[in-house]
Amino acid sequence: MIRSFAEKLRKLQKLKASFSEGAEQQRLLLLEMLARMQPGSAQCLIQYHDMLLFLLAFPDSPKLAEKATQEMLRLKYILSKQGKKSAFSNSGLEFTTLSWKPSPDALHWLLSRFNDLRYTVKSSKKLEEITTLLCYKTEWDSLLDAEVSFQHWISRLSAREVNSPSRWLKVWLNRFQKLGSAPAVRDFLFDSLSMKAICTLSGAWSLTSNKLLFGQPCFYKKKPEIKKNEILKPVFLNDKISQRVLNSIKAALFARQKETDPVTYADERFLYGYETDDGFTVYLLSMKPENRLPLESYIGYMVYSNGIPVSYGGGWIFYEQCEFGINIFEQFRGGPSARILHVLMNVYKHHYGVKTFIIPPYQFGEGNRDGIKSGAFWFYYKMGFRPVNKELKLLAEREWKKIQNNKAYRTPEKVLLRFTEGPVISELKNNLPVPELKKLSHAAIKWIAENFDGNQKEASKKSADRLLKKSGISTKGWSISEKNFFQELAPFLCMIHGWEKWKQPEIKQAVMLLKEKGREEHRFIRMLQQHQKLRKEFFRISKG
C-alpha cells in the first residue's frame, strides 16, 4: 500500500509543471486514486501535502480545485491524529511542532498567537545576566535571592504569578524591548541567547490553512504567460484587511522558519496590494521608520496565487534602480516562476517608478549551490537580464548560442560559477546615471571628519539647523521619526559643495524630501527621482 501510494504520488509530481487539458484529466484521476489510499509514511504525507498546495495555487479547473481541497481536509484530519510525531517537526503542517530562532519582534508576534509557546536558550546564565540589565535597582536584591528561582522571580513581575513559560516570557520580552539601547545592540544581545521558540501550529498559522479568500479564483488551462502592457488593479485595504494580510504574510514565513526585515518590521499603514487578471496578487511592505535604511529603500513583498502565498523577497531601491531578490517557496518550484518575476517587476515599476533591476550573484549561484545546479543564470538571461561585466556578457552570448544550436548542451558548472563574479542587470535604455551608495557614505564620513572632527551627532544637528534656516521651514508638527530621519540625512545634503547657493524652492524641496524618508517611503522614492539637481550632485560626489 505504501509503495502504491508513493508510485501514484510520483506520477502526480511528474505532471506538476504540465498545463494542458490532458494533464488535467490525469491529475484528477490520480487524485481520485490517492484519495482512497493512506500515505503510509510521514515523508509521503508531507510530499502529498506540498503537491496539494501547488494544485490549489495553480488549479486546472474548479473540479480539480475542489478535489484538492477535499484531500487537504483529509490530510488535516490525519495530521490531527499524528502531527505530534517527531517525523513532522518543522514541516510547517497543521498540528505539527515547530522550533525556530526568531528575532525579538517576531517572538513578540508569536507570543500574541500561541499560548503553548515554550523556549530554550543556549545558556541560562546568559539569560539571567541580560535580565539583570533590565532590572530596576529596587529589584536587584530580590533577583539575587538564592531561595527564589529565576523563573519564579520573573513570574512575580506580572499581575498574577502564573507558571507558564509563554506568560513570563511576554513579561521579560516587554522589558527587553524597552531596553535603552540602539535596535542593533538589542538584537545583538538577543542573538547571544540563541533563544529558540517551540510551539504547535494551528489554523491559519500553518502552511496547510494559510490562505487569503479575496477575489475570484483563476484556473490555468495553460501555463501563465508573460504579458505586455498589463493593467494592475489596486487591492482595497482597510485596517482590518491589512492586519489580516500582514498576519498571513508573517505566518507564511514563520511556518517555514524564515524571517525578513520588511515583514518583521512592517508598517501596516503603508501596505499596498496589486492584483492581475490571472490570479496573482502582490503585497508590498515598507518598514517602520526606525528600521528604514538612510537613502536606499528596502521594500519587501509577498506574492499570492489564488490566495495562497507562493513567493517572497524584496528590492533595494535608489532612484530608479532596484537590486532585486526573488524566492519561490519550495512547494511551488516548477510552476510559472517567469510569470511571477514579470508581475513583480511590473508592480515595482508601476508603484515606485523603478526602471532598472539588478540581480545579485547569490540569486544565481554565488554561495548558493542550488542556484548552480538549477542553472538559475539562464532563467534570468531568458528574462532579459545581462551581466554588467563586459567579458562575462560576451561569454554568456557564446554559451547561449551553443544552447540554441544544441538542445542537449548543458553549460559546464565552472562557467556558471564564472557568471557569479558579477550581477546581472535588466537592459533598459535612456536611464539616468545612479550615484553609488557606498561612495556617498565614504564621502559623508570624510566630510564629517574634516568639518566636525568625526562627531556625527554634532554634524547631524548643525546640518539640520542650517537646512531649516535656509529653507524657512519649521519642524512644528513633525513626528519624532520624521525629525530623526531628517537629522540623520542632513549631512548628505550639506556636504554638497555650494548647496547654499541653490534657490530657496530647491532647498525647500530637498528639506521636504528628507522629511518624507521618516514618513512614507513611497513618496520619498518618487520625490528623490524628481530632484534632478540632487541626483547630479550626488553622482558627481560618488565619482570623486
Among 47, 42, 36, CA closest to 74:
36
347-382 confidence digits (pLDDT tens): 999 999 999 999 999 999 998 888 898 899 999 999
Question: Is pLDDT above 60 for 70?
Answer: yes
Q: How confident is the model at residue 303 (pLDDT cuts 50, 70, 90)?
A: very high
Question: Is pLDDT above 90 for 524?
Answer: yes
21-41 confidence digits (pLDDT tens): 788 899 999 999 999 999 989
C-alpha distances in Å from residue 410, one per residue of 281, 399, 400, 413, 444: 35, 9, 10, 9, 47
Question: Is pLDDT above 60 for 162?
Answer: no
C-alpha distances in Å from residue 62, one per residue of 70, 73, 293, 385: 12, 17, 45, 37
Across the strands, what pairs with 302? 283, 312
Question: Is pLDDT above 90 for 432?
Answer: no
pLDDT at residue 149 in the model: 78
The whole-model pTM stands at 0.93
Question: Is pLDDT above 90 for 223?
Answer: no
Q: DSSP string covering 370-406, please?
A: HHHHTTHHHHHHHTTEEESSHHHHHHHHHHHHHHHH-
Q: How confident is the model at residue 46 (pLDDT cuts 50, 70, 90)?
A: very high
Residue ranges covered by each domain of the chain? 2-87, 97-200, 213-355, 366-427, 437-542
pLDDT at residue 429 in the model: 63
Number of Cβ within a 10 Å radius of residue 302:
27
Q: Burial level of 321, CB count in 10 A (0-12/13-18/19+)?
A: buried
pLDDT at residue 248 in the model: 97
Q: pLDDT higher for 138 or 345?
A: 345
pLDDT at residue 86 in the model: 87
pLDDT at residue 340 in the model: 95
259-274 confidence digits (pLDDT tens): 999 999 999 999 999 9
Pairing of the two strands 321-328 and 356-359: parallel
C-alpha 194: how far from chain center: 22
Question: Is pLDDT above 70 for 428?
Answer: no
Residue tagged 522589558 (cell numbers): 175
Percent of the chain beyond pLDDT 90?
A: 70
By mean pLDDT, which of 122-131, 206-215, 221-230, 278-287 is the weakest? 221-230
Tell me the torsion sign for CA atoms 221, 226, 230, 236: positive
| CA–CA dist 279, 313 (Å, integer) | 19
Q: How confident is the model at residue 478 (pLDDT cuts 50, 70, 90)?
A: very high
Q: How confident is the model at residue 169 (pLDDT cuts 50, 70, 90)?
A: confident
| CA–CA dist 433, 57 (Å, integer) | 40
By mean pLDDT, which of 176-190, 299-313, 320-334, 339-353 is the weakest? 176-190
382 phi and psi angles, rounded to 5 deg: -65, -25
Mean pLDDT of the residues in the chain = 90
